[in-house]
Copies of this chain bind each other. A is one copy, B any other.
């Protein structure tokens, strides 16, 4: 019988922000697989001639919301457009109350009202977010902010999720560099749970959980206004959180100065991740407070940007319990990412 490895002992940590457990188990990284390794379905198919997101193909896209710079023509840098296959429909009525059926059966359904936009981050196909300059990445972040500022004027919108899928196994269906913005008529349960859990921390300690998160062995790097860490109970291997060093509940409070500063740090994290982990598919998500958050919760909520490289799938354990198994201890991941040198 094969001997059990004498690896570092497994540990179960609590993610205090999301109030959930994560299992750290380095021995898991060693298990064999008798499936053929997945072929890299990820080489950027440079189908440029057919890509609707490329400059010159604007007419193949759903309607534009705005572009950057505003008065540009074929020299645009960023376009924010409607999603042609939206998950939510901006033309439906705002669901004032759940459908009647809910009364008797417990089934609650509301109409699928909401906004679903795409942010084209570059006019040309092969240029990805990490290839842009800090100021250009900052402009993409400011485009998110501008669109959120439009959406939050609507009473019917309760939460805005900004996210990016890069690479097929991170869910992307389009290879041209882009991100998405979804505006929802409900606050998703994961968001309420996060807000609730940060509030509990505040009530117990008198402090905002993310204002004081910095611990040197988890730090990757920092800029004037932001720091990037691997969180203490990272759900995924090499997951990175970039957090404002100042207290701020909502991402849309970002100003131009801070956007350039964040742009530089975000670019650095993407370049480090790509260089260390062989250009993996990844997602990023901006976690912000609900738009109509109770003012009493402002001191305890703090926005951050989460980057997750897609290195391994999940299975029935995670689907059943919401508890993840991470083979890489956060302090080890942080050390590796801290020490990757980028020219």
Tell me whether A31 and B85 are in contact (CB under 8 A).
yes
Tell me whether A163 and B320 are in contact (CB under 8 A).
yes
Tell me whether B321 and A191 are in contact (CB under 8 A).
yes
Tell me whether A32 and B173 are in contact (CB under 8 A).
yes
- CB neighbours of A60 from chain B (8 A): 1-2
Known contacts A1-B63, A11-B110, A38-B41; is-contact A308 B315 (Cβ 8 Å): no
Which residue of the partner chain, among B19, B98, B233, B316, contacts A164 with CB atoms under 8 Å?
B316
A105 CB within 8 Å of chain B = yes
A43-51, A126-134, A222-230 - interface stretch: A43-51
Task: Report the interface size class on chain A.
Answer: 35 or more
Q: List 30 A-B contacts (CB under 8 A).
A: A1-B60, A4-B84, A9-B111, A9-B112, A10-B92, A10-B111, A10-B112, A13-B108, A21-B188, A24-B112, A25-B86, A28-B87, A31-B173, A34-B173, A35-B41, A35-B168, A36-B43, A38-B168, A38-B169, A105-B215, A107-B233, A164-B316, A170-B316, A184-B321, A188-B321, A189-B193, A189-B322, A285-B319, A286-B320, A306-B319
Given known contacts A106-B204, A161-B320, A188-B322, what 5 new A-B pairs fall within 8 Å (CB)?
A2-B62, A11-B111, A31-B85, A34-B50, A35-B45
